[in-house]
Amino acid sequence: MLDTIGLSKIEDLVAHLPKAVRYDKPLAIAPGRSEYDILDYFKERGSENAAAGGNGYACFLGAGVYNHYRPVMVDTVVSRGEFLTSYTPYQAEISQGTLTAIFEFQSMICQLTGMDVANASMYDASTAVPEAAMMAIRATGRSHILTARTVHPEYREVLHTYTQHQGIPLDEFGYDATSGLIDIEDLSRSITKDTAAVIIQTPNFFGIVENVKQAAAIAHEHGALLVVVFSEAVSLGLLEPPRDADIVAGELQSFAIPPSYGGPFAGVIACKEKWIRQIPGRLAGETKDANGNRAFCLTLATREQHIRREKATSNICTNQALIALMATVFLAVYGKQGLRELAVQNLSKAHYLAGKTKTIFSGPFFNEFVVRSEFKGIAEINRELEAKKIIGGLPLEKFYPELKNTMLLCCTEMSRKPQMDLVAEAFA
Amino acid sequence: MYPENFRYTKEHEWVHVENGVGTIGITDHAQHELGDIVYVEVPKVGTHVEQGKSFAVVESVKAASEIYAPVSGEIVEANDALTATPELLNSDPHVAGWIAKIKLSVPEEIDRLLSPTDYQAYLGEG
């Protein structure tokens, strides 16, 4: 086979890879061991991992990826062959199951966000946010994007990647050092007549619930659209939907999508009906078949890249059908009341732990909050917690140099009182 | 079928110039080829357009197509009725289905457009 492709040895296949990224030592596994021996060995070593929600570890790390319970029903449904192996539902006549599931998904997202239209999902929030910004640019004919510094720092990085080579000016406005809410005065100062979108996140990266109405009023007064971002979808079970937004972009990882080292997740874009033709990706719509029966099909696809080529609304025409289905099943399992109860548990537990620590912001928070350590370094606290089989919070200094010796902590329904008390003690 | 006082493009737009203002639309042939039109993105008043450059989008059940300006100038009026009733482009492409009015900045551009006879001959070749 090597002869046919003009190579002499197997290593030639990877010769183009830099030496620095190649492992050139023999694997640290004795030769001649059976497959089940090796599996046992790796399972044993794997059990040493400090895994969120696994191997006996408690997790207080959030910051965009959350440790929530995944109902058993979720994997049972998504692993059905009809969903797991199905191709894009271009042929409506053989894809009614997938299309119905997408339509259900879109309907649920509209109910949660208070928007009129939701697409069939995005990769994740970090790609949904810049796509929402591009929508606003197309809708307003303006080019300036203004984002709050309290939007997830990694979402802002992807936004920067999108804008930097397209001549789109991107600016940030700050937060109030006392409340942790967006700095309204800084927003008013920074917004211009060329601002296409104001982007805020709620609960914001510090876990604090923003005043969407107030931000919307300022954006609209200047003719800009308001994009509201969320990273913790469970908050929507309790908080008022961001109805005053023009576009909502969010992350659904909290809805039964495993953390999996950071993906794959599913994002969402929803908007007011007025902007439906600017929405990227695909939409499932309700229609009637030849016999007048209720049926579903992809709709408004004429702007996608397989038809419109380089003039397509977006180059993201992919959706996360299977992952979005996890979220759909999750929402169906919990229901409206169940999601509310889940959100209340998250809120109550976070407020219990926050009450025992020194939080630095006074704004209302959901299930995350920022704590300052007065006596020890943040890294030291996390090391101490790890020894007690607890994954601590996120040190914030990396993203916010001004927030020295602070940690973003997160409680979910999975947090238990004994571990919460140990976290509080670690700060003492 | 194709009014005598209109001028036409090979991209199937028509323009009717009166007092330095050109009313623009798509031809009967174009609407027939596009099929049922479901949406028209009309340009904003005040926008400057250039001859041969895209200035509107017409979306049918089959495709979303660029509409190219037959003349250069400033958009002085857009047919907002198309937002609610895009099907006017199918039913009455040369009258009620007009898309926008442009104040001509280079009136002699008209000379480069096709007469009804030439346009119909062009369609015949196609």
pLDDT band at A193 (very low <50, low <70, confident <90, very high): very high
Per-residue pLDDT for A415 more than 90? yes
Per-residue pLDDT for A197 more than 80? yes
- For the four alpha carbons of A220, A270, A346 and A368, in that order, the dihedral sign comes to negative
Sort residue A99 into left (φ over 0), alpha (ψ -120 to 50) or beta: alpha
Minimal CA–CA distance to A405: which of A336, A343, A358?
A358
- Read off φ and ψ for residue B81, nearest 5 degrees: -60, -25
Give the pair of three-digit tokens for residue A283: 């939409």
Say whether residue B62 is in contact with chain A using an 8 A CB cutoff. yes
Give the tens place of pLDDT for each residue, A124-153: 999 999 999 999 999 998 999 999 999 999
Q: Which residues of B74-105 are buried (b: 16+ CB within 10 A; e: fewer)?
A: ebeebbeebeeebebbbeebbeebbbbbbbbe
Segments making up each domain of chain B, as ranges: 7-125
Say whether residue B66 is in contact with chain A using an 8 A CB cutoff. yes
CB contact under 8 A, B59 and A311: no
Q: Give me the helix-helix angle, A321-355 and A96-113, nearest 10°.
A: 30
CB contact under 8 A, B59 and A303: yes
d(CA A181, CA A197): 18
- Read off φ and ψ for residue B59, nearest 5 degrees: -110, 125
HEC string of A353-374? HHHCCCECCCCCECCEEEEECC
CB contact under 8 A, A302 and B59: yes
Share of chain A above pLDDT 70, in %: 99
Residue-level pLDDT at A56 = 86
Residue-level pLDDT at B61 = 80
Once rounded to an integer, what is the mean pLDDT over residues A90-104? 93
pTM, two decimals, is 0.88
Mean pLDDT of chain A: 94
d(CA A118, CA A111): 10
Which residues, 6+ apart, have CB-to-CB distance to A370 below 8 Å?
A180, A206, A207, A359, A360, A361, A396, A403, A406, A407, A408, A409
Least confident of A93-102, A372-381, B62-71: B62-71
Give the pair of three-digit tokens for residue B45: 């008043």
* Residue whose entry in the numeric block shows the structure tokens 């992807």: A158
Distance from CA of A228 to the nearest CA of B (A): 26
d(CA B38, CA B65): 12
What residue of A is the nearest CA neighbor of B40?
A: A277
State the ipTM, two decimals.
0.71
Give the tens place of pLDDT for each residue, B18-75: 999 999 999 999 999 999 999 998 888 999 999 999 999 998 887 888 899 999 999 9
Residue type at position A212 = V
Residue-level pLDDT at B126 = 56
Q: What is the CATH number of domain B7-125?
A: 2.40.50.100
CB contact under 8 A, B59 and A141: no
Cβ atoms of A266 and A257 closer than 8 Å:
yes
Give the tens place of pLDDT for each residue, A33-72: 999 999 999 999 888 888 776 788 999 999 999 999 999 9
Share of chain B above pLDDT 90, in %: 83
**Which domains occur in chain A, in start order?**
58-70+336-426 (3.90.1150.10), 73-329 (3.40.640.10)
What residue of B is the nearest CA neighbor of A312?
A: B64
Give the pair of three-digit tokens for residue A197: 């979108």
Sort residue B35 into left (φ over 0), alpha (ψ -120 to 50) or beta: left
d(CA B38, CA A303): 13
